[in-house]
Amino acid sequence: MLIDTRVRKSPYWELSVQAGAWRASIYNRMYHPRGYVPREEGGMSVEYQSLVNDVTLWNVAVERQIRVKGPDAEAFTNYVITRDATRIPTLRARYVILTNEKGGILNDPVLLRVADDEFWFSISDSDLLLWLQGVNVGKRFDVEIDEIDVAPVQIQGPKSAALLADLIGPVAHEIPSYGLHITKIAGRDVVISQTGFTGEKGYEIYLYDATKYAEDLWNEILRVGEAHNLRVVAPAHHRRIAAGILSWGQDLDHETLPFQVNLAYQVPRHKEADYIGKQRLEEARARLEAGAPPYETQLVGFKFGGRPIDDYAPDFWLVSESETSEPTGYVTSPWYSPELESNIALAHVPVGRTSLGTEYWIHLPDVYSDEPGRPVRAEIVEVPFRPSVNPNQRELLKQKGLDAAV
């Protein structure tokens, strides 16, 4: 990829290159490292083993931090997210969605409430800053909306808690899931959340004044991490797929309703305050409950054959209802799961054919096909594909029998 000044480099970019990053993609108009171990040395499969067995460090500064601060911060945030912001305590985080007037999902960030009058949107891959500022042109909430000089890294894996304890002390073990803790690492101010993109135990460390102090944080984590067999890796999409964690731009976008991608719990039935998209989403839920879904496809999980998919898919692979029929769906996020010893994927399929066990056929590239030119059999299975060590809210609700809870 051409590296130039038209795309922003994060504060950790050069450090990632020094750590071996050999390729990148673009995320939020920033360079995003997407591979460290060379293909000839095992590539993403080796990085995955470090994640599930030890601890890993990720450069995720592409999760830009959009701060909403001021007397109306809670009211403004409550207007732009579907969930009830008034129920988010200070020093807690939540996975949230923002929708447009048609109910389409614009972004699905982790929302951090760092103070009574201050929220950070840790955004996925769409330009939320301009949207939020545009909304307030007409609404005139008493808030400031800006991108701040805060850049996160993630430490993920079973040894992440022990590593964090070596960095900040035993209080690391007291940070609850989606809890926040304000402290210092290497003398620099940070906010730590117990969150991540894997389903493994993990944390995100948000560094203040990151353009000045990125090296201090990064090098301290590397130093302390040596005792825990730390490896710098790219975001592990194979593990987030297994956990059923969605990726904006792949599994959902601004035309996707929450109900299509198993996010019904993000649309509360009893939120009195108005929010963008509320009318459309309530109409959509009414149609859905009446047996007339207002959309054609639903996100499901697949297990399927073929050769192990060991790298990012370069395209959305088509899905048919039989070996010879025309495609009616598409795969969004595929990978090979070593634990399940099978290829797995998230995929959009016709809403009338989403029952567990339903058979489909996936048109794989020849490199992954058992028989080039012939599709491979797939079967709809439960999502998440395997239990998470650090389950997200949708998993917790499902465990309680409240998958469509409000």
Residue 351 maps to which CATH number? 3.30.1360.120
Query: Is residue 365, in this structure, part of any structural domain at all?
Result: yes
Cα–Cα distance, 101 to 99 (Å, whole number): 7
Chunked into runs of 10 residues, the chain (406 residues) has average pLDDT values of 93 98 97 96 95 98 98 98 98 98 98 98 96 96 98 98 98 97 98 95 98 98 98 95 96 98 96 97 97 97 96 96 97 96 97 97 96 95 86 64 47
Query: What's at 357, amino acid-wise?
Result: G
What range defines the domain where residue 330 resides?
258-399
Query: Is residue 369, in this structure, part of any structural domain at all?
Result: yes
At residue 336, what are phi and psi to the nearest 5 degrees? -95, 135
The pLDDT assigned to 402 comes to 55
Query: What's at 246, amino acid-wise?
Result: L
The pLDDT assigned to 399 comes to 61
Number of domains in the chain: 1
Query: Is residue 225, in this structure, part of any structural domain at all?
Result: no
Which residues, at least 6 apart from 369, have a Cβ–Cβ distance to it below 8 Å? 306, 307, 375, 376
Which structure tokens are listed for 403? 């998958």
Query: Is residue 202, in this structure, part of any structural domain at all?
Result: no
Which residues, at least 6 apart from 52, have a Cβ–Cβ distance to it below 8 Å? 157, 158, 200, 239
- Report whether 51 contacts 157 (CB < 8 A): yes
Query: Is residue 342, in this structure, part of any structural domain at all?
Result: yes
The pLDDT assigned to 293 comes to 96
The pLDDT assigned to 1 comes to 86
Report the 10 Å Cβ neighbour count for 290: 8
* Bridge pairing between strands 180-185 and 65-69: unpaired
- DSSP letter string over 252-282? B-TT--GGGGT-GGGS-SS--S--TTHHHHH
Query: Is residue 127, in this structure, part of any structural domain at all?
Result: no
DSSP-derived letter for residue 116 is: T
Which residues, at least 6 apart from 378, have a Cβ–Cβ distance to it below 8 Å? 302, 303, 304, 305, 319, 345, 347, 359, 360, 361, 362
Strands (E), 116-239: 118-122, 144-147, 150-156, 180-185, 188-193, 202-208, 230-232
CA distances, 350 to each of 288, 293, 298, 335, 359 (Å): 14, 11, 6, 22, 12
Query: Is residue 325, in this structure, part of any structural domain at all?
Result: yes
Report the 10 Å Cβ neighbour count for 266: 23
Nearest in space to 103 (alpha carbons), one of 341, 286, 250:
286
Task: Report pLDDT digits (tens) over 297-332.
Answer: 999 999 999 999 999 999 999 999 999 999 999 999
Report the 10 Å Cβ neighbour count for 223: 13
The pLDDT assigned to 405 comes to 37
Cα–Cα distance, 114 to 128 (Å, whole number): 19
The answer to whether 204 is a known ligand-binding residue is: yes
Query: Is residue 324, in this structure, part of any structural domain at all?
Result: yes
